[in-house]
Structure 1
């Protein structure tokens, strides 16, 4: 879809919010020199600088809701595409009283997402409430999750963050609630292991491939976190998210294969990048693909301008 069509396809009120979001978006560097990005980008927050989201153990003091998708099939007749249904859920989640932010990831090999392959996307949503109270605090969220993926196999996993490297404070716990934002260029490896397996918390950096990623990615390696799902009926117990920063495609592939070999049978393992950071307020979640398309065109035009000036 062209930039103009992507924008005009939105309702007038939505276009206004999209335009406002674009004006607030953080621009890319004016030069093309490679650089290492921080673990996460902090946006302006109304919370005080000392109001971090850390508990006494240095872990995230709230819920990390991972949503894994076995089937990327349109939940018809309600929604016409998988992404439409998934982003509708993300929009409703914003109304949760403890909502902080969401980070919708697509496969590092974008073709896997475009072709709707299993686990071509996953979502990670942060809430300031305890995972045990997530659904009770906003019953519409659970209902919406089911509607957005009706008759499809998917796994909403309310988790507690229980370990991180490097420590003593995890990356998401070091910022105030709602102040986390990931760079789209950074790579991430996700590992989810089945409940009832033989994985032990103490050895998580080995069986999740974190140790191997640290070695293969070198200085671009940014860290990793271990999460445990509090829902005893869930299919998966542990989820590990490893940040590889601006690692090369070869390093990302090596880290992913090492994680797949270490995690064993039944685990979900994949490489991703954050496609959408969904804040409490801003452009509607369903409009974010159009916003992304506009920003992509702006970057391409800017890069072309640099090349023309250098010629």
Structure 2
């Protein structure tokens, strides 16, 4: 096949989930419901944190950042998929694909960094409780957020710039419902060795910085909690980080599930289903985990809802 320069590529074609009109309608309703629940749930978290002065703490500051990230993570993929289902047209322009790719990478990286920062926040709260507000001061919280934003922007931009050097053949079908970096490289006709090296290098950095940071933080937390003499004290200490640990397990569990599914399965639809679990489920479930497991958050949400009902 004759390679096509990236400037001549006009569009890619995303995976069509089904040809059954009835099933298409059901999928449209399902994904629309998931998107609305995700946006509404995370928006309530942000409003509750901003409106209740008791929640103006580092933990809830990072939680509101995570909720904002989850909203935009879903917005980069689900609306386009809904449009494709409705119009039965799976095409996406080359520029649109690169734009979607950038924001998917940006918000995925940002979520990784935020979860790592939140693990460090829980480490300080449990291992150094008397110095918590001194260490996790507003300046440090703002700096950690800005550094996370900057690194996420650099990583996403680097990946997209590396994609720009690729040429493509006439087969422009992406076997997912969104523009995924691995899938784009897979259909490229030009040499992708440098791209693969760069992807593995960034993945190694994430494993070193983010995953190792979370593991080290929780290892220190476990050692500190085990030193607490009373069972009630141990339970109280663990309960302060239970929500975050659940979110981390869901995010990385679904991510590894999507990765291994792409390795062992030859079915594009199975791979797409695993990717949906990673791109949709954590963002939708996170608000429920934090609101149901945290007494302060439940109280803030109750006050917020009562205030809105009163204004109506």
What band does the TM-score fall into relative to the shorter chain? under 0.3
Between Structure 1 and Structure 2, which shows a larger proportion of strand residues?
1
* Higher alpha-carbon Rg: 2
**TM norm structure 2:** 0.26
Between Structure 1 and Structure 2, which shows a larger proportion of helix residues?
2
